[in-house]
Structure 1
Amino acid sequence: MHPIPELTPLLKQLRLSGILDSLEARNREAIDRKLAFTEFLSLLIHDEVARRDNKKLSLRLRRANFRSQKTLEGFDFDRLPGLNRAAVHDLATCRFIDEKVAVLIAGPCGTGKSHLAQALGHAAARLGHDVLFATQTQLLASLRQAAAVGTYDRRFQYLARLPLLIIDDFGLKPLRSPDDEDFHDLIAERYERVATVLTSNLDFPEWGEAFPGNKMIGAATLDRLRHGAYKIILDGESYRDPDAAKTLKTKLAKETKITQS
């Protein structure tokens, strides 16, 4: 009698139904390779662990709210010859998360700041860290919405405890009361407890301009962010430069023509 139909309800009861996905194939492999029972069992267990890890990773990536699948493998370093690749790859080990410090990324529009920030987030998720990616506007809007329905404390604590919070477009819009106070309180709560990544179009000396209504709060916030932080400056042509796009299209057209000839 074939044992798999009999095993199916038992594996489901034990919450091991994922084993069914590879059981037939592993059974044939065990027969063909004349594997011992313990070797066969080891293959099944490794399959189940891998399946659960992939399921957890998919959930972390979904919760992270990334705009797209921006990874370090897809980052175009050639457009940024002044960028230290080794330093970026070192950051992708996510040692900064264990150090509980910030990564501050500055540069003009279109140089890849959001891509790099999300790539670090992807690396963190693959290593098992919970991540959230949000623009400054989205982040503060979520706190205002939570306050409106009486769940501000719960939302604040969730954001304060996340192992990695990525805040995109810092300073794109000036922080005014009460947003500047909320932002300061969040950064202060995360300081030396968890890691934060910020991107900004502003040069580092200009970051204080994000707090036009309260310079003192701005100074206190930035002092915490800068302490022990890693700083990255992206200086190169914009990915979204219309002229660059035209050049790329022309190049692709030429390559296609050569391929076809």
Structure 2
Amino acid sequence: MITAKQQAETDQAIVEACKKLFFTTAIPEMCKTEGTPKQIEYLKDALLRELARREENKKARLIKRAHFPVYKAFDGYSYKQVQLPPALTKEELENVSFINQKQNLVLYGPVGVGKTHMAIAAG
């Protein structure tokens, strides 16, 4: 049995997904009036899967457009030889929050310490 709170959360998820997918507001309204609980749950899951698929495709497209020589990530990155400024934490670097704050990141040091890896992972 679905509670009123769960139903409201499902309805809200469908409305938000429809907005992100540029669907009309008629779809959530039809769900409320004509859909069974199982149909509504299935629609919510389908919309959320489509949003996730589009996000993955967008990431792949942007990475391809960036023309990185190889794909790199922060997973397994060794920070042993890296000295971060006091104003920047490891988490902020990995979340690239400095970009939203319109701050620059300057990487310098000897060969082989991971500057290129870090730059590509941040990209």
- TM-score by length of structure 1 reads 0.30
Question: Which of 113, 116, 119 matches 1:114?
Answer: 116
CA distance in 1, matches of 2:91, 2:120: 14
Is the 8 Å Cα contact of residues 98 and 104 (structure 2) preserved in structure 1?
A: yes
CA distance in 2, matches of 1:75, 1:92: 10
Question: Which of 33, 36, 39 matches 1:37?
Answer: 39
Paired position in structure 2 for 1:100: 102
Deviations along 1:33-61, one digit per CA (max 9) or x if unpaired, are: xx611001111111111111111111001
Mapping 1:31-180, distance limit 5 Å: 36-78=38-80, 80=81, 83-84=83-84, 87-121=89-123
Deviations along 1:62-121, one digit per CA (max 9) or x if unpaired, are: 01111212111131224x2x635x723212222211111210111001111111111111
Q: Which amino acid aligns with 1:120?
A: A
Q: Which amino acid aligns with 1:70?
A: K
Q: Which amino acid aligns with 1:42?
A: K
Partner-residue secondary structure (3-state), 1:74: coil
| Higher Rg of the two aligned structures | 1
Partner-residue secondary structure (3-state), 2:106: strand
- TM-score by length of structure 2 reads 0.61
* 5+ long unaligned stretches in structure 2: 1-20, 22-36
The RMSD of aligned alpha carbons is: 2.1
Percent identity, aligned pairs only, is: 31
CA distance in 2, matches of 1:41, 1:91: 37
Residues matched between the structures, number:
85
* 5+ long unaligned stretches in structure 1: 1-15, 17-34, 122-261
CA distance in 2, matches of 1:49, 1:71: 23
